[in-house]
A and B are shown apart, each in its own frame.
Chain A
Amino acid sequence: MVIGALLVLFLVLPVAALLLRGLGAQFLPTLLGPVVLDALRISLLTTSCTMLLTVVLGTPVAWLLARYDFPGKTVLDTLLDLPIVLPPVVAGVGLLLAFGRSGLLGAPLELAGISVAFSPAAVVMAQLFVAAPFYLRTAKAGFMAVDPDVEDAARTDGADRWTVFRYITWPLAFTFLLEGLVLTWARALGEFGATILFAGSLQGKTRTITLAIYSALESDLAPALVLSAVMVLVAFSVLAVVRRWGSAHTAR
């Protein structure tokens, strides 16, 4: 009992400290200042793009990995998990070496007039690289948890492949997908190392909440504390809502 309470206290105390310091009298004026608003806007925009890309591109990959066997699958599986283990800074260097101006794809991209480094697109790419594997993992586990017999039954009743996926597989795997998406979002929101290397840090363009907190910590503590408190509140609300939604879905 006592030992358990210790861990709970340890996990709760820093959060409480952030809220106590962040939600002071200067909360509202700082929140409405350009530094905080810009950072919130950039983070909201980029993580939304990252989530959308993750679902659209990640779901088919996870499904294929869960349903089919092919040569080299284990290697591919491991490669797709790699960004979870890689330090974010290494991910940033990798992205630069691949998509940067002097990188592998840099010259052709440059010729096509596309320059990704230091752009909001680079922020999304950094987030997608480090966060999408979390969705892939959980979504794959979700699809594997769906009994193929149920799908087969639907198929013998005449449902085509898309209908089976849409009305059988997707709903049954839904809680997993949701969980994966939350993990992805959380990881994307907190991304720092890859972003600062590949996208740089410029207010109103590439400076996300995390980068803004880091930069504010070095001069004016107030925006850093407010942003930290906002991060706690937003994260808590999202987790709470998703949890409710998820359990309501399973209950049905």
Chain B
Amino acid sequence: MKITLLVSTLLLSLGSAGAANLTVFAAASLTDAFADIGKAFDAKTGHTTLFQFAGSQALRTQLTNGARADVYASANSAQFDPLVKSGLLGSGQPFLSNRLAVIAPRNNDRVQTLTDLSKPGVKLVIADRAVPVGDYTRRMLSAIDKSGAYGKNFSGQFLKNVVSEEPNVRQVALKVQLGEADAAVVYSSDVTPALRPGVRVITLPTRFNQSASYPIGTLRNAASPEAAQAFVNFVLSGEGQAILKKWGFLKPR
């Protein structure tokens, strides 16, 4: 079945002159949603879309150092705008927003509330500072500190409990899924159907939560600029937005 599909896709891409091979670099948090979008897009247009998912900062480094891609979707503008400024990317536009979520393994009740995150001996995993979600996590911590609701040095104690700073958000979620961390900070969209049975989501008051805005754009040296633009348009279209919503993302701001 899969082989027939593959063969027919190959034939299709050879046969029709307009069909292109598209390479999309996308933030790790988009893994499931973009895989879905890629299938829908390919079925509709006859293009063949390939994805590379990683931390946005890793993708940016690769693009800066000559990696070829047609589309780049980043989890924040800090990893996107410099590429626009250097002329590698055309202008981008926000295509979704995301929120943070604190998760803990379901079979481990060491962390029940936000206060527990600062208790000594708790093992926390977050993303590295350079990873967008790692940056949002640190902003969340300073918002909590500023409010004073959890004591003056909440973030200090929280950071003391961190046992690993991971290279992308899916690695962070994995450590909780495997039960190795007592809690972690990810995006709310990372609590996918696959992850949900294994984790509890700990309530994070809205005033501490951070709104992550994801920009998307086409590369200036895209091999197939039209197909690249078509992909961006599809992501922004009603159909694309519906798939993103299904995977827990919010409308762009």
Contacts and interface: CB of A to CB of B under 8 A. Distances in A.
Given A102-B180, A117-B180, A118-B123, A218 B57 contact: yes
A218 B166 contact: no
Contacts of B125: 200
A218 B167 contact: yes
Contacts of B60: 218
A206 B163 CA distance: 9
Interface of B is mostly: mixed
A200 B130 contact: no
Interface string A186-209: 000000000010011111011000
B145 interface: no
Interface string B105-116: 101000000000
B179 A200 contact: no
Contact of B179 (A100, A217, A218): A100
Contacts of A201: 128, 164-167
B180 A218 contact: no
Nearest to A97: B178
Contacts, number: 59
Contacts of A118: 123, 163-164, 180
B58 interface: yes
A117 B175 CA distance: 10
B55 interface: yes
Contact of B129 (A96, A102, A115, A219): A219
How big is the A interface, by class?
Answer: 20 to 34
B61 interface: yes
Contacts of B179: 100-102
Contacts of B165: 200-203, 215
Interface in A31-63: none
A206 B164 contact: yes
A214 B167 contact: yes
A219 B164 contact: no
Contact of B128 (A100, A199, A215): A215
A218 B175 contact: no
A228 B113 CA distance: 42
B12 to A, nearest CB: 34
A196 B180 contact: no
Given A118-B164, A201-B164, A201-B166, A218 B178 contact: no
Contacts of B180: 96, 100-102, 117-118
Given A101-B180, A200-B164, A201-B164, 10 more contacts: A100-B179, A117-B180, A196-B167, A196-B171, A200-B166, A202-B165, A215-B130, A218-B60, A218-B131, A219-B57
19 contacts: A96-B178, A100-B180, A101-B179, A102-B179, A115-B123, A118-B164, A118-B180, A196-B171, A200-B163, A200-B164, A200-B166, A202-B165, A203-B165, A214-B167, A215-B167, A217-B61, A218-B57, A218-B167, A219-B130
Interface of B: 55, 57-58, 60-61, 105, 107, 123, 125, 128-131, 162-167, 171, 175, 178-180
8 A-B pairs closest in CB distance: A200-B164, A102-B179, A219-B130, A118-B163, A218-B57, A218-B130, A117-B180, A100-B180
Interface of A: 96, 100-102, 115, 117-118, 196, 199-203, 205-206, 214-215, 217-219
